Amino acid sequence: MNNKNICNGSCIKKKRWYQLFIFVFIMVFSIVCLAEDNTSASPKQFTLNDAISYALQHNPSITITQTMVNEQKGVIQSTRSKLLPHVDLNTDTLFSRLNKGMVPGAPPQFERFDNILFDTSAGVKMLVWDFKKTKTQLDASHHALDALKLFKDRQKEEVVFHVSNLYLRVLTYNDLIKAARSTEKSLKALKKRIDLLVKGGRAIPEDSLKVETRLSTVKSNIALLESGRKTALADLANAMGWDGGDIEVVYSPSEKSLEARKLIAEKKQLLLKARRTRVDLAALKKKLLAAKEQRIAAQKDKLPVITFNAGISGYSAVNPVPFVDIISHFIPNANVGPGSANTGNWQTDWHATFHIKFPIFDGGLRAGRIAARRAVESKAKTEVFAKKIEIVKQIRSALASLEGSLARVKANEEALKQAKEVLRVEKLRYKAGKTVIDFVLDAEAQLLNAKSRLSQAYRSVDVNILAVHLAVGDILLKTSKH
């Protein structure tokens, strides 16, 4: 009985320790899982350079252009193959009702016949001369490849600008939200003071309600700004090619007025520089060269083409019958020449051929190709000219926008100083009982508007600086330095 009680006591203790262990394990596991969830839920932070680097590696449009580059490389390889020998190995097995000759075109003394024949051959075929038509086509393919690579570089520049623009838009929302929250904080402090004045009989309750109404408006504006900010972040993630969770930007102030003024002062130099650095202009020039080479190649279609074919063949049969045995049934003692006795079941042969093709009449096929290539070349020339004009326009427009942004910064900086002073005076006048709360609220609104306009002007300077570098064609170099 005592042993049974001792056993029950020890078993109960073991059970309690086991339950405690399970409880501790569950708690630790839950904490770890919660920590992992919090970690995965936290947004991924990107600096501007991080966002640009990621976009250059994952943006879908760049990837698509790279596939076009790879496709053009395949075109070059297939065009180059026309200049190299082509070697083929062939084998045939023939079953027929009637006996066939083993070696087509062989002399009678070597010919043998059977209804089961085997033919194995190795041949080489190569272009000897086509007045460099294929070489011209190959050069055109290389120019087309260079054009695609340059277009890809331009696409990278446009992606950099687009990502930077969206990044700065998010920062602008951050600035606007910060200004709105500052106004919200100021209005809350003002409401507390007014509530004290109302309790002391020095202000009317309607003043507190007016402040509360204006505070609600500011909160509503903050909610709209937060929604716009999330949309801008989603657009940024899409431009980057980001398919993960939420992302977040790293705040950075705008201090580029000096660089903006320098760019405006270098307008003439920028116009000249763009002709050297714009990769899309260089791409169109390469495209023009490719069109020219294709037109020359089309014109060479009218010239002769010389090709060379050579090969060696082996022929065999199961039970070949010599030609002399067949003819002897009809002409006894016929003499078809030496060699018939040594033909055996296997025969070999070789051949070499030079083939010359002279184009005579094709119903206008070559003339149509030449006309089409000339039209493509003319279009390419027009595209080069149009791009030169467009570059000048883009630089002038970007510089004009940059100059306007600087003017807005200067005007809004002055407006912000004035708005701060007006608010300070109105608060003092209201405290002294010389004005109504409406003027104080209007001054708060003017200060918020001044802060918002100044933040937008600062970011506008940043965007327009990038627009100038995009127009000049050195935006990749510019962003790599920051």
Domain boundaries, the chain: 50-84+145-288+385-480, 85-129+304-358
State residue 17's pLDDT score: 61
Q: Which amino acid, one-letter code, is at 316?
A: S
Provide DSSP, 55-82: HHHH-HHHHHHHHHHHHHHHHHHHHHHT
| Rounded-to-integer distance, Cα 319 and Cα 176, Å | 97
State residue 1's pLDDT score: 46
Range 50-84+145-288+385-480 classified under CATH 3.40.640.10: no
Residue 408 near residue 463 (C-beta atoms within 8 A): no
State residue 296's pLDDT score: 96
Q: Is a pLDDT exceeding 80 seen at residue 5?
A: no
The pTM of this model reads 0.79
pLDDT, mean of residues 341-345: 60
Q: Mind listing the pLDDT tens digit for each residue in 426-464?
A: 988 888 888 888 888 999 999 999 999 999 999 999 999
Q: Interhelix angle for 365-431 vs 279-299, to 10°?
A: 170
State residue 253's pLDDT score: 76
| Rounded-to-integer distance, Cα 208 and Cα 197, Å | 10
CB-based contacts of 459: which residues, under 8 Å, 6+ apart?
A: 168, 169, 171, 172, 175, 254
- Secondary structure percentages of the chain, helix, strand, coil, to 5: 70, 15, 15
| Rounded-to-integer distance, Cα 428 and Cα 431, Å | 5
HSE, side-chain direction, 13 A CA sphere, residue 217? 13
- Give the other-Cβ count within 10 Å of 98's Cβ: 6
- 290 φ, ψ (degrees, to nearest 5): -65, -40
Q: Mind listing the pLDDT tens digit for each residue in 251-278?
A: 877 766 778 888 888 888 999 999 899 9
